[in-house]
Structure 1
Amino acid sequence: MGRPQTALAEPERPLEAVREVPPAPARSPYIVGPAFDWAFFLLPPLLALGLGITISGTAFSDDPVRFFGQEKTRAGLMVGSIIHAHLVAVFFRSHGNPAIFRLYPLRFVLVPVLAWAAIRGSAVIAVAATVLATFWDVWHSGLQTFGLARIYDRNRGNPPAMGRRLDFWLNHLLYAGPILAGATMLDHFSSFEGFDAVGMPWLASVPAHMTATHGLWTRAVLAVGGAFLVFYVVASVRLARQGHPPSFHKVFLLVTTGACSIYTWGFNTWGEAFFIMNLLHAVQYLALVWAMEGDRLRERLRLRGRALALALFLGAVFAYGVGAELLDPDLESLWAFTLVVSLMHFWYDGFIWSVARKQV
């Protein structure tokens, strides 16, 4: 989850054009503050893993219950609602921030309408958009951790470009590698099966080909990934000897997120991989958007306290999240809307937070 590509950085515009939340105190190693960072950025991988293990095999995770005509497990409803909630939260950043909105009005108004029309107008585009959303989510989730890691390294006093490319590829390896090589590979590629219904059996056969060659993918990821990890450690030691030691918080975040990803995506021992990884990603993202936009939201609505603004923020995104999760898939226009929200979330993050650029 994803993401955020986040807190991470603002578009490459004059500083006066984009107002950020006040940073942590000078020379602080944190993004927001010790309690906030540990609760919502640093510990979520371990906390999500612990929760996933705890609910595994319980009625909460396994027993289906009917909610408004939809049959779901309580765990499925919980994580599905959180996923949709964090997806729509980007609009507080894109459409809710006047300074950002003025920079890209066509992207924020015209593109979502055109995307919705295209998905509703073509079954092929609808299936392709579903596949795109699945794999864009993987890329986006890796970038979210990358962005947080780079912020912590910057706060440590290291130059923004120092080790940036190493961190970039490490995060994608730690997130996408276990998916390609591990137990949840077929779950990610199953979205291709939708092409069979639109007369494209060659694309619908992708999951079968991936399953048949899974052993090769596993060996390739282990070989390339193992070599890169050795290279990353050697390069990091060299940077430390040159006077640029990595941030402790960055190392903690990368180690815990990487271990969680390998354990859950790679082995899915407890059958809760999607719950664990999406939960940790969504919690980090929601916390990040609130940290960046909370004060602005309160001021725009002329609310007296942050608590009321927080209640409004969480209430709005979770109302959408629950509604989207319980949506009847036969309501194609609304289903297309939720897919557009997903795609816009990934795309908007790419240029609003600018994590993919050499800023953090």
Structure 2
Amino acid sequence: MSLAQPLPVEAERPEEPRREAPPLAARSPYIVGPVFDWAFFLLPPLLALGLGIAISGTAFSDTPVRFFGQEKTWAGLMVGSLIHAHLVAVFLRSHGNPAIFRLHPLRFVLVPVLAWAAIRGSVVVAAGATVLATFWDVWHSGLQTFGLARIYDRNRGNSPTAGRRLDFWLNHLLYAGPILAGATMLDHFSSFESFEAVGVPWLAAVPARMTATHRAWTLGVLGVGGAFLIVYVVAWARLRMKGHRPSFHKLFLLVTTGACSIYSWGFNSWGEAFFIMNLLHAVQYLALVWAMEGSRLRERLRLKWRGLALALFLGTVAAYGVGAELLDPDLESLWAFTLVVSLMHFWYDGFIWSVARKHV
């Protein structure tokens, strides 16, 4: 499809329509094109898993190196920089897109300033924001795969509303379920420990309570998840009988992402779960931002060569990513800034996908 047209994207919150929209005419099965989609949307789960396994136990992954007074591994620096780079890239979609920015200028200007002031002014707010960022990231990551999957389904010529709620909850099950039930649960809930230093012990005790009840959570996820998968397959079989045409690209994305999430978050066999899952998410997101905003960036900067615009985009977000990853945590004002960028990324991205959906 032409990038001159707005990409068809889905709202962050599921909304049940009063009646189902009619199927759309089939179009290209790809979002951007075969090479781009396979390289940056479809294969990243498998490639990230393979890379994570390949570096496990190597010096790249395990040997600490000092960077500006801090000890990090090369793998940690790489994925940490990518995480921060993709977080800040959302501002190209919000502040860099005049059509989006004009809709809610206060949301894009005033709210970040107020959020920074609140985090900087209250240690309790800062601790709460840290926890919020951790779990909002899980929610946001599941929604990214959901959005891409729905685009592929729509491009196959299916109704954009058929099975939407099923896909919504499937993606959260595949992403959040292995976290809650698996080996990395405590790593996610450990962010609550920051409440101990600010005098909120009952919240600081959350990791201990989750550890004590982890078996029950695991059994719950397996039971509820298994039942949902049966419902999901039966529901989609019925849609198939009504003429719904399965999208191979959607199925490939869901199966590979789900398998990668279960294997990485659930078992963390190679000790590289955070590397694998954050790498695939960041690569997909940066590719999506470039696909949607690359031409607009080149036009606004009046750059003749698209490659130069791409280099500027990647160089800018990479510079921020490395700087944020190597930031001294004792520089509280700058640390608060990076936390605000994280929170605004999750909020802005969901908002922008919702807005874009209204134009298709």
* TM-score (normalizing by structure 2): 0.93
Pairwise CA RMSD of aligned residues?
A: 1.9
Q: Name the structure 2 match of 1:232.
A: 232
CA drift of 1:237 comes to: 1.1
CA drift of 1:350 comes to: 1.3
What percent identity do the matched residue pairs reach? 86
Alignment deviations for residues 293-335 of structure 1 (CA, whole Å, 9 cap, x no partner): 0000000000011100000000000000000000000000000
Q: Assess, with a 3 A threshold, how the Cα gap between structure 1 residues 355 and 236 changes in structure 2: closer, same or farther.
A: farther
Q: Name the structure 1 match of 2:257.
A: 257
Q: Name the structure 2 match of 1:173.
A: 173
CA drift of 1:62 comes to: 0.1
Counterpart of 1:52 in structure 2: which amino acid?
A: G
Q: How far apart, in 2, do the equivalents of 1:177 and 1:359 lie? A: 33
Ranges in structure 1 where 5+ consecutive residues have no aligned partner = 1-5, 13-24
> Do the aligned partners of 2:141 and 2:175 also contact (CA within 8 Å) in 1?
yes
Question: Is 1:117 the counterpart of 2:117 in the alignment?
Answer: yes
Q: How far apart, in 1, do the equivalents of 2:81 and 2:217 lie? A: 32
CA drift of 1:245 comes to: 2.3
Q: Assess, with a 3 A threshold, how the Cα gap between structure 1 residues 50 and 114 changes in structure 2: closer, same or farther.
A: same
> Do the aligned partners of 2:142 and 2:175 also contact (CA within 8 Å) in 1?
yes
Q: How far apart, in 2, do the equivalents of 1:358 and 1:251 lie? A: 25
> Do the aligned partners of 1:8 and 1:354 also contact (CA within 8 Å) in 2?
no
Please give the secondary structure, in 2, of the residue aligned with 1:66. strand
CA drift of 1:68 comes to: 1.3
Q: How far apart, in 2, do the equivalents of 1:104 and 1:274 lie? A: 34
Q: Name the structure 1 match of 2:130.
A: 130
Q: Name the structure 2 match of 1:72.
A: 72
Counterpart of 1:333 in structure 2: which amino acid?
A: S
Q: Name the structure 1 match of 2:17.
A: none
Please give the secondary structure, in 1, of the residue aligned with 2:237. helix
> Do the aligned partners of 2:79 and 2:275 also contact (CA within 8 Å) in 1?
yes
Please give the secondary structure, in 1, of the residue aligned with 2:71. strand
Q: Assess, with a 3 A threshold, how the Cα gap between structure 1 residues 359 and 145 changes in structure 2: closer, same or farther.
A: farther
> Do the aligned partners of 1:95 and 1:108 also contact (CA within 8 Å) in 2?
yes
Q: Name the structure 2 match of 1:108.
A: 108
Q: Name the structure 2 match of 1:209.
A: 209
Q: Name the structure 2 match of 1:21.
A: none
For structure 1, which segment, 25-34 or 302-311, has the greater mean C-alpha deviation from structure 2 after superposition? 25-34
Q: Name the structure 2 match of 1:41.
A: 41
How is 1:337-356 mapped onto 2 (pairs within 5 angstroms)? 337-354=337-354
Q: How far apart, in 2, do the equivalents of 1:45 and 1:356 lie? A: 26
> Do the aligned partners of 1:294 and 1:309 also contact (CA within 8 Å) in 2?
yes
CA drift of 1:94 comes to: 0.3
Question: Is 1:328 the counterpart of 2:328 in the alignment?
Answer: yes
> Do the aligned partners of 1:147 and 1:355 also contact (CA within 8 Å) in 2?
no
CA drift of 1:355 comes to: 8.4
Please give the secondary structure, in 2, of the residue aligned with 1:71. strand
Counterpart of 1:316 in structure 2: which amino acid?
A: T
CA drift of 1:91 comes to: 0.3
Q: How far apart, in 2, do the equivalents of 1:50 and 1:322 lie? A: 24
Q: How far apart, in 2, do the equivalents of 1:10 and 1:292 lie? A: 14
Q: Name the structure 2 match of 1:60.
A: 60
The number of equivalent residue pairs is 343
CA drift of 1:7 comes to: 5.0
Q: How far apart, in 2, do the equivalents of 1:254 and 1:356 lie? A: 23
Alignment deviations for residues 141-171 of structure 1 (CA, whole Å, 9 cap, x no partner): 0000000000000000110110000000000
Q: Name the structure 2 match of 1:83.
A: 83
Moved >2 Å (runs of 4+): 6-12, 355-360
CA drift of 1:359 comes to: 8.6
Ranges in structure 2 where 5+ consecutive residues have no aligned partner = 1-5, 13-24
